[in-house]
A and B are shown apart, each in its own frame.
Chain A
Amino acid sequence: EFRRFSLERSKPGKFEEFYGLLQHVHKIPNVDVLVGYTDIHGDLLPINNDDNYHKAVSTANPLLRIFIQRKEDADYSAFGTDTMTRKKNVLSNVLRPDNHKKKPHIVISMPQDFRPVSSIIDVDILPETHRRVRLYKYGTDKPLGFYIRDGSSVRVTPHGLEKVPGIFISRLVPGGLAQSTGLLAVNDEVLEVNGIEVSGKSLDQVTDMMIANSRNLIITVRPANQRNNVVRNSRTSGSSGQSTESSLPSSTPNILGNLLQGEEESDEEDIIIEDSGEPRQIPKAAPTSESIESLSQIELLHESTQNGFLPSSEMNLNHSAGSISMEYEVPEPGPKSLEEDGTIITL
């Protein structure tokens, strides 16, 4: 059954209100439903928080088609890219084919109910021969499970080919996070760790950096096997096409586009136990006025990179994931950004 109603595009309001409105319009006040919409690429995408709701509203052209399903008989697999139009999809190029493609009918839960374990990010700003992989150690008991070693690689320099020392992945532990993602392989050369170039650093230094970043590890590698690289001209298809609009110029591939988000998400929360009471996450102190300015700047940036779900925008997804998986209070983004400010200054 169809309903048609209007919203003010400039003031869409909150998702909760919208959800209430839907329930009201459909006269199903106590039924849990899943809300989805089709984006400009024809993908069915969920609406379940403020961010993707706003995104959805902004894509209405002029009509926004919304699909509502009862939660109990919802077909979860219907969501995601490559759903409405059976186009060739970026992801299937990126992910090892055996990873998802063969078993499309496994019922996985909604994005809000599960947590990503890995992703390829910044496809749009990296050279095609490089791959930036993010591993989410976050909450799982699975070991990261890989080893690195010294080695040498051949670089093209103004003086011709030159052998330079490099860091390589030497071993993947079976069943570890690194292996299960399929995004890293033995003999991949490690170029960066969380946006910091490793050239000139010793094996021990790189080890320390990786372990220090282990809760949100972003490794840029030059895969030993270059056949599974992302094909650049496919960027107009799929939701990742949106990334081309992002402000990051591809001429500076070494700048980690998602560093900010990564940092924010990784921001591990120390735990405090007061007077032998319950453990609790340490809150952030209130921001001082001087940081407000930088704050707005960062948020602007967030918006410019929020676009669809994969692969370059874990933003909203992580927010929801964070708020549910952690029993601690979720800090407001404001002070977090302040903190980033403090950290990144010293980069």
Chain B
Amino acid sequence: MRRFLRPGHDPVRERLKRDLFQFNKTVEHGFPHQPSAVGYSPFLRLMAIGTRSGAIKLYGAPGVEFMGLHEENNTVMQIHFIPDQCQLVTLLDDNSLHLWSLKQHGGTSELLEEHRFTLKGPPGSPPSATQVTAVLSHSSRDVLYLGTESGNIFVVELPLFRVLEDRTITLEAVLQRIPEDNCNRRSCELVEALREHPKNPDQILIGYSRGLIVLWDLQNNKATHHFLGSQQLENLYWQRDGSKFISCHYDGSYTQWPVSSDSRQPEPLENTVPYGPFPCKAISKIYWQTTKNGLPYIIFQGGMPRASYGDRHSISVIHGSQQTAFDFTSRVIDFFIIFSSDPAAEFDDPSALVVLAEEELVVIDLKSAGWPAVHPPYLASLHCSAITCSHHVSNIPLKLWERIISAGSKQNIHYSSMPWPIDGGTNIAPDPPQRDLLLTGHEDGTVRFWDASGVCLHLLYKLSTVRVFLTDADPNDNMNTLGEDEWPPLRKVGTFDPYSDDPRLGIQKIYLCKYSGYLAVAGTAGQVLVMELNDEDAEHVVDHAEADLLQDQEGYRWKGHEKLKTRDGPVRFEAGFQPFVLVQCQPPAVVTSLALHSEWKLVAFGTSHGFGLFDHQQKRLVFVKCTLHPSDQLALEGPLSRVKSLKKSLRQSFRRIRRSRVSSRKRRGGSGNASEVQEANAKFDQDALQEMELAPVQRKIEARSAEDSFTGFVRTLYFADTFLRDSSRHCPSLWAGTNGGTVYAFCLRVPPAERRMDEPVRAEQAKEIQLMHRAPVVGILVLDGRSTPLPEPLEVAHDLSKSPDMQGSHQLLVVSEEQFKVFTLPKVSSKLKLKLTALEGCRVRKVTVATFGSCKTDDYSENDLAVLTNLGDIQIISLPFLKLQIRYPCIRKEDVSGIASCVFTKCGQGFYLISPSEFERFSLSTKWLVEPRCIVDVPEVTSNNHVHKSGTENAARKSSPGDCGEDERKSGRLMEHALLNDEKVLKEIQSTLEGGR
């Protein structure tokens, strides 16, 4: 019987499915989570960023991106490019070294791990003997000098990491060659820095942590000079001509040293504490850059006065009389300077300072006056204020696109006009097929508009809703609070600012009409703003209305936050989206759903109490509908009661943790009456165990009833022009779905355009559907006579969609968290359904209609539902027959915030947050795929013939899907085949089993 009910796979459809669907994670947008190291190759003009999870990402010109992942998932401590090679070496915190190569393959470059190596000391030596602290990749390209904690410097040959034992520079050897009186501090001197002489590759500068600096001659294996610093050494840097070097120290000072042939033990030229005289923090890294005009740039990290500015994360730039301490909002991981890399050039002539901070990348233009920041084309800090929601709009008309860009460019005037200085590699990906916008709403009340068309997620424009409201904080008070003559000359840079003045400003829902430029945003305190794009600055009054969603409910008290106070009188808005209507829901609960119909000029909004419809043309509230169940106290009282219970559970879990800590402490500290303590512990453990057994994690099994809380929570709103009352006349309608499985349909009467301002919009409830399974309604959709979803408002007017079929009968698709159901219209009878939760135990989290095109034939495309479940699976379900097409695991089910953040596009792509600062982009389509395809050319390919076969194969397996598209995709397809075959086999087995009956 099952065989009968489950019709065999139609081979034609199966083939078509392979042409339509394919799952790829294509690229990670945003800023890497927890970066730990940065490296730069002036030769390739590529930057590498390593993270605490062992990822390594390379960036060059916009669109040039590579990604690799260390198998061990250990923190990347250091990254060093091999001079004049497409290779780099990473040092992880497990003391392993990894050699990565950029290899060309099938027209694109790929980042592959070639070899790995861990330095091993002689048997019996302590691990610190080989703990690598400093790495010098020598300009001879084939050796690495590894400074260690023991003070010894090991030499390994690349690419196989062969240790050249005879070339090891031991601390003893170094100390033998310098006068006796300096040898007393030989203990614990680790190698802090290794620098190659800029002119003479046979000389390297070795800096030991206690202050001793030695210039070592590699040819003769002896120290030519030694320099004695009085302070603990932090770092070293050569002047370009090799006549001087500079050292920086733990006490916040830096020292210049001459290197002359006449003196073997030179005295320092100059010793400066830039932020003295009071005790200062260490200067951990320093650059000395020469310029044509003679005044050098001295750029260093740290060195702030310990007491008053010790908590600042700063990098100071000193150039003659100019001095600025760039002040970062997050910890500085590392920085580098982009300067003239031509060895023949006489001066460094630095052009840019690139700083990797914990939460953002900041690039400072050192050539322009005032040292402005450069707007990065990638690595955007998505989380400069926490992301609260996202909205994706595909295929933006060129006109709107240009207007948004122009509005954004007016905001970016303080940025440098310098072209992006890190420009290695060539982007060979085809131009993105269309212009896509990703809108992110943030906790601080801003909406950011991102160009999501291609590989680089680029900020186009930032909109702030704060101006409409009166908040405690003045928006300008935290910028440059220090006057001009303040010391130290701190200057705030970067955009990362995780502190929100008022959580009520947070953006919860966004809806942009790409044809009209109307934008609706809704926030945490029940505020709904309707905006219009204006190319000029303007000052106007925002019309204000209140929607009392509890109007016929009596005696309830809202215990949540207050509504936001509005500004009286006209408000000045900069060019861009300017609000003209503000609707505030009462009670001011979070807006949970939002819909905008730009043609009818209506905006609908819903909260946990009900929903309302506002006519933004006439600026009149059309109606409100309370969706509350009388017994739903929770929703009425606001979030407080829930907070209380959360607090309680937190308290309990803390108590549990504390208790376990106490017990473990007891166990450790059993010195006196050990047996007694042990006994007590044993008893305690037993008790704890019993307690555990008494209260296991359990789940209540209970049918949902109408009395469950939050049933009135409006989850979805939808406008449709369809047959609501009878099959002869269609009319505008508004649909709303609630958490309790109720669907409300309102019939709207919108006056014709010529009388639009004269007659009111009318609404009348036409239908109310109660799903018996009472699961939250997460999606409502009307399919036209051809079973195609109704087009968006104004889509037909702009000739971008066929007009909907109004001849055939329409169908209503209601998606709840548990089921998909198709009903006929106008008489609601159920036609089809697909149960998800009852059969698989998963629930719908996100659902969108997406268009899938065939990669084989240009003229075939179809609409399907893209569904994300609470288990992180993505399912594609056909329309209108609701058949599961394919399923892909996408997000770990434990990654609740990732699942919650997922947004689908209309073309079968999607985004979800893999960290607070990064979106992973994925594609379900064979046709629309945005992934990096880039090539890094090597000007001169030298000896690259000793590449280990096994090494490359090994690395190819580990490479991530992001960087080697072609191959991966092929193997992905192969896997799919394998799965399909498997399914066939399964079916055969099943049918033979059933055949016996």
Task: For B5, give the chain A residue with the smallest CB separation.
Answer: A344
Evaluate contact between B766 and A275: CB separation under 8 angstroms. yes
**Bound CA span A318–B893, Å:** 40
Evaluate contact between B698 and A205: CB separation under 8 angstroms. no
**Bound CA span A137–B893, Å:** 30
Evaluate contact between A344 and B830: CB separation under 8 angstroms. no
- Contacting B772 at CB < 8 Å: which of A201, A247, A269? A269
A212 at the interface (CB under 8 A from B): yes
Known contacts A260-B1, A270-B770; A207 and B701 CB within 8 A of each other:
yes
Task: Kindly list chain B residues whose C-beta atoms are within 8 Å of the C-beta of A215.
Answer: 703, 772-773
Known contacts A285-B824, A285-B829, A345-B883; A276 and B765 CB within 8 A of each other:
yes
Instruction: Identify the interface centre among A144, A213, A274, A275: most chain B CB within 10 Å of its CB.
Output: A274
Task: Kindly list chain B residues whose C-beta atoms are within 8 Å of the C-beta of A213.
Answer: 838
Task: Kindly list chain B residues whose C-beta atoms are within 8 Å of the C-beta of A211.
Answer: 701-704, 837
A233 at the interface (CB under 8 A from B): no
Evaluate contact between B773 and A212: CB separation under 8 angstroms. yes
Evaluate contact between A137 and B766: CB separation under 8 angstroms. no
**Bound CA span A106–B269, Å:** 111
A171 at the interface (CB under 8 A from B): yes
Interface positions, chain B 141-172, Cβ under 8 Å from A, are: none
B487 at the interface (CB under 8 A from A): no
The segment from B442-450, B456-464, B839-847 that touches chain A is B839-847
Task: For B821, give the chain A residue with the smallest CB separation.
Answer: A270
**Bound CA span A339–B823, Å:** 12
Interface positions, chain B 679-704, Cβ under 8 Å from A, are: 696-704
Min CB distance, A297 to chain B, in Å?
A: 6
Min CB distance, A237 to chain B, in Å?
A: 25
**Bound CA span A285–B809, Å:** 12
Task: Kindly list chain A residues whose C-beta atoms are within 8 Å of the C-beta of B703.
Answer: 137, 143-144, 211, 214-215
B794 at the interface (CB under 8 A from A): no
Task: For B830, give the chain A residue with the smallest CB separation.
Answer: A282
Min CB distance, A167 to chain B, in Å?
A: 9
**Bound CA span A339–B5, Å:** 11
Min CB distance, B808 to chain A, in Å?
A: 14
Evaluate contact between B996 and A249: CB separation under 8 angstroms. yes
Task: For A260, give the chain B residue with the smallest CB separation.
Answer: B1
User: Interface size of B by Cβ–Cβ distance < 8 Å?
Assistant: 55
Known contacts A205-B841, A209-B837, A270-B772; A214 and B702 CB within 8 A of each other:
yes
Task: Kindly list chain B residues whose C-beta atoms are within 8 Å of the C-beta of A342.
Answer: 832-834, 881-882
Evaluate contact between B834 and A343: CB separation under 8 angstroms. yes
Against B, the Cβ 8 Å flags (1 = close, 0 = not) of A281-305 are 0111100000000100110010000
A210 at the interface (CB under 8 A from B): yes
Known contacts A212-B773, A214-B702, A285-B829; A346 and B839 CB within 8 A of each other:
yes
Min CB distance, B326 to chain A, in Å?
A: 48
**Bound CA span A279–B769, Å:** 9
Min CB distance, B701 to chain A, in Å?
A: 5
Against A, the Cβ 8 Å flags (1 = close, 0 = not) of B704-740 are 1000000000000000000001000000000000000
Evaluate contact between B883 and A346: CB separation under 8 angstroms. yes
Task: Kindly list chain B residues whose C-beta atoms are within 8 Å of the C-beta of A347.
Answer: 2, 5-6, 839
B818 at the interface (CB under 8 A from A): yes
Task: For A266, give the chain B residue with the smallest CB separation.
Answer: B838
Task: Kindly list chain B residues whose C-beta atoms are within 8 Å of the C-beta of A193.
Answer: 841
- Contacting A148 at CB < 8 Å: which of B4, B698, B837? B698
Task: For A195, give the chain B residue with the smallest CB separation.
Answer: B839
Task: Kindly list chain A residues whose C-beta atoms are within 8 Å of the C-beta of B884.
Answer: 346
B430 at the interface (CB under 8 A from A): no
A145 at the interface (CB under 8 A from B): yes
Task: For B703, give the chain A residue with the smallest CB separation.
Answer: A214
A33 at the interface (CB under 8 A from B): no
Evaluate contact between A344 and B702: CB separation under 8 angstroms. no
Task: Kindly list chain A residues whose C-beta atoms are within 8 Å of the C-beta of B831.
Answer: 284-285
Against A, the Cβ 8 Å flags (1 = close, 0 = not) of B844-880 are 0000000000000000000000000001000000000
Interface positions, chain B 779-827, Cβ under 8 Å from A, are: 818, 821, 823-824
- Contacting B997 at CB < 8 Å: which of A150, A207, A247? A247
Min CB distance, B795 to chain A, in Å?
A: 29
Known contacts A343-B833, A344-B2, A344-B6; A210 and B828 CB within 8 A of each other:
no
- Contacting A345 at CB < 8 Å: which of B1, B6, B725, B769? B6
Evaluate contact between A146 and B834: CB separation under 8 angstroms. no
**Bound CA span A172–B833, Å:** 33
B7 at the interface (CB under 8 A from A): yes
B79 at the interface (CB under 8 A from A): no
B103 at the interface (CB under 8 A from A): no
B369 at the interface (CB under 8 A from A): no
B835 at the interface (CB under 8 A from A): yes
Task: Kindly list chain A residues whose C-beta atoms are within 8 Å of the C-beta of B842.
Answer: 205, 208
Min CB distance, A248 to chain B, in Å?
A: 7
**Bound CA span A248–B772, Å:** 32
Evaluate contact between B701 and A294: CB separation under 8 angstroms. no
Task: Kindly list chain B residues whose C-beta atoms are within 8 Å of the C-beta of A113.
Answer: none
A149 at the interface (CB under 8 A from B): yes
Min CB distance, B815 to chain A, in Å?
A: 14
Evaluate contact between A149 and B696: CB separation under 8 angstroms. yes
Instruction: Identify the interface centre among A204, A248, A298: most chain B CB within 10 Å of its CB.
Output: A204
Evaluate contact between A294 and B4: CB separation under 8 angstroms. yes
Instruction: Identify the interface centre among B841, B881, B994: most chain A CB within 10 Å of its CB.
Output: B841
A17 at the interface (CB under 8 A from B): no
Task: Kindly list chain A residues whose C-beta atoms are within 8 Å of the C-beta of B702.
Answer: 143-145, 211, 214
B941 at the interface (CB under 8 A from A): no
Task: Kindly list chain A residues whose C-beta atoms are within 8 Å of the C-beta of B838.
Answer: 194, 209, 212-213
**Bound CA span A198–B840, Å:** 9
Against A, the Cβ 8 Å flags (1 = close, 0 = not) of B882-895 are 11100000000100
Known contacts A213-B838, A273-B767, A342-B832; A203 and B699 CB within 8 A of each other:
yes
Evaluate contact between A208 and B4: CB separation under 8 angstroms. no
A50 at the interface (CB under 8 A from B): no
B497 at the interface (CB under 8 A from A): no
Task: Kindly list chain A residues whose C-beta atoms are within 8 Å of the C-beta of B5.
Answer: 294, 340-341, 344-345, 347
A84 at the interface (CB under 8 A from B): no
Min CB distance, B409 to chain A, in Å?
A: 48
Evaluate contact between B882 and A150: CB separation under 8 angstroms. no
Against B, the Cβ 8 Å flags (1 = close, 0 = not) of A118-143 are 00000000000000000001000001
**Bound CA span A215–B773, Å:** 8
A323 at the interface (CB under 8 A from B): no
Task: Kindly list chain B residues whose C-beta atoms are within 8 Å of the C-beta of A60.
Answer: none
Against B, the Cβ 8 Å flags (1 = close, 0 = not) of A204-247 are 11111111111101000000000000000000000000000001
Min CB distance, B859 to chain A, in Å?
A: 27
**Bound CA span A98–B595, Å:** 59
Task: Kindly list chain A residues whose C-beta atoms are within 8 Å of the C-beta of B830.
Answer: 270, 282-285, 339
Evaluate contact between A209 and B770: CB separation under 8 angstroms. no
Task: Kindly list chain B residues whose C-beta atoms are within 8 Å of the C-beta of A148.
Answer: 698-699, 701
Known contacts A211-B704, A285-B830, A294-B4; A150 and B993 CB within 8 A of each other:
no
Evaluate contact between B1 and A147: CB separation under 8 angstroms. no
Min CB distance, B66 to chain A, in Å?
A: 36
Evaluate contact between A149 and B833: CB separation under 8 angstroms. no
Evaluate contact between B699 and A149: CB separation under 8 angstroms. yes
B771 at the interface (CB under 8 A from A): yes
Min CB distance, A45 to chain B, in Å?
A: 27
B775 at the interface (CB under 8 A from A): yes
A180 at the interface (CB under 8 A from B): no
Q: Can you list 17 A-B pairs, Cβ within 8 angstroms, ordered by A? A: A144-B702, A147-B700, A170-B698, A196-B839, A196-B840, A203-B697, A209-B838, A251-B996, A270-B769, A270-B770, A270-B771, A270-B821, A279-B770, A284-B829, A294-B5, A298-B1, A344-B2
Q: A275-B765, A282-B830 are in contact. List 16 more A-B contacts (CB 8 A).
A: A203-B697, A204-B841, A207-B701, A208-B837, A209-B838, A209-B841, A212-B773, A215-B703, A215-B773, A217-B701, A249-B996, A271-B772, A284-B831, A342-B833, A342-B834, A343-B833
| CB-based closest 10 A-B pairs | A205-B841, A268-B772, A214-B703, A212-B837, A207-B699, A212-B838, A209-B841, A285-B831, A149-B698, A273-B768
